[in-house]
Amino acid sequence: MQSSVTVGDPHIASELASLPHRYVGSGPYRIREQNETRVIVERFDDYWGQPARFDEIRWIPEPDPARRVDALLDGRAQVAFRIGLEGKERIAGNPDVIAHESETGLCIIFMLNSGKGACRDPRVRQALNYAVDVGRIIDEIKGGAAKPLNGYLTPHHFGFNPETPAYPYDPEKARSLLRAAGYGGGLKLVFDIPMAMPDEAPRLAGMMAEQLDQVGVSLEIVEHHDRAAYSETVREKRIHDGCCFDSSPASTYRVLREKLHSSLAGPWWQGYENTTVNALIEQAEATFDDTERQRIYREIYSIIRNDAPWIFLYRPTRFVGASSSMGEWRPSVGGLLRF
């Protein structure tokens, strides 16, 4: 049984450090120390379930993926989270470390302002999806380490419909839809992006701007450097025409209620309205049979793909570096770290 493990992570430690000072249900570990530079959890021997594997875990926030890999290679960390494709390549062939690869349930998307402006028109939203070359974006920005989305969920989600086609790259179709929506002479949009989470948002927005320009859409980018404040801007529905976001809930129920049901107007909902979708969501909530509920969810999935309230981009492949001293430890399905 290993006594200690240090985890280099860009976000988790700082998020844990902001928790209140009273805890309930800490499981096999309890928090011993927390501040802006680290969070330390220790084994809780009175836990009722399977005992903790480690005596102690130290979470160290490090925003630079290269430095996370450095810490792993020089032994200061036993796990380095989100090391990216470059990190994987750096540690390749080193017998003391290994890169674990997992297909995540994370969706990288642009949520469109369907409540006002040009993106109220579903033809405009569809055109934006046809105008973006997701395959090229994945190759150039993610180094091929991602899979295209065909809607608002991933195969890890209940109700994902594998038969729903992804939007193909079709600039002529995009131009035709824009002409039909009254924007044959051009369209200007303003998109908000964070500078982190997803970290590639600036490069992503730049490439999308080039591709959208080819179909007559001029894109202005507004950068937000404070990620917490950016989230509040999105939550308060103060975005411009669209915003880059990472949709992370593993629960289809949450995605639908928080982002797509117009009567609820949840925290991440951005003006999309479809009464049929609302009714189907409520029908699914009242359906106990899993097979029938999945059928309803898949019907919703196809409708929302066609309505295109988001620009559906990709689900990234996640790489986590680990010391060989971790033995059989692996990240869980979906990329979660469990110790």
pLDDT at position 338 is 76
Question: Of the spans 72-76, 77-81, 169-173, which averages the highest pLDDT?
Answer: 169-173
pLDDT at 298: 98
DSSP notation for 180-205: HTT-TT-EEEEEEEESSSSTTHHHHH
Question: Distance (Å, rounded) from C-alpha 327 to C-alpha 13?
Answer: 23
The lowest-confidence range among 68-72, 126-130, 284-288 is: 68-72
pLDDT bucket at 336, cuts 50 / 70 / 90: low
pLDDT, tens digit, for every residue of 155-166? Answer: 999 999 999 999
Q: What is the mean pLDDT of residues 140-158?
A: 96
pLDDT band, very low/low/confident/very high, at 34 (cuts 50, 70, 90): confident
* Lowest-confidence region among 25-39, 87-101, 147-161, 218-232: 25-39
Does the pLDDT at position 334 exceed 80? no
The confidence band for 7, taking pLDDT boundaries of 50, 70 and 90, is low
What's the DSSP call for residue 219? Answer: E
Mean pLDDT of 260-282: 98
- pLDDT for 305-322, tens place per residue? 999 999 999 999 999 999
Q: What is the mean pLDDT of residues 162-183?
A: 98
- In this structure, are residues 33 and 40 in contact, taking their beta carbons and an 8 Å threshold? yes
Helix (H, G, I), strand (E, B) or coil at 94: coil
- pLDDT-derived band of residue 26, with 50, 70 and 90 as boundaries? low
What is the rounded distance in angstroms from the CA atom of residue 152 to the CA atom of residue 105?
A: 10
Query: Tens digits of per-residue pLDDT, 193-250?
Result: 999 889 899 999 999 999 999 999 999 999 999 999 999 999 999 999 999 999 888 8
| 70, pLDDT greater than 60 | yes
Pairing mode, strands 242-247 and 187-194 = parallel
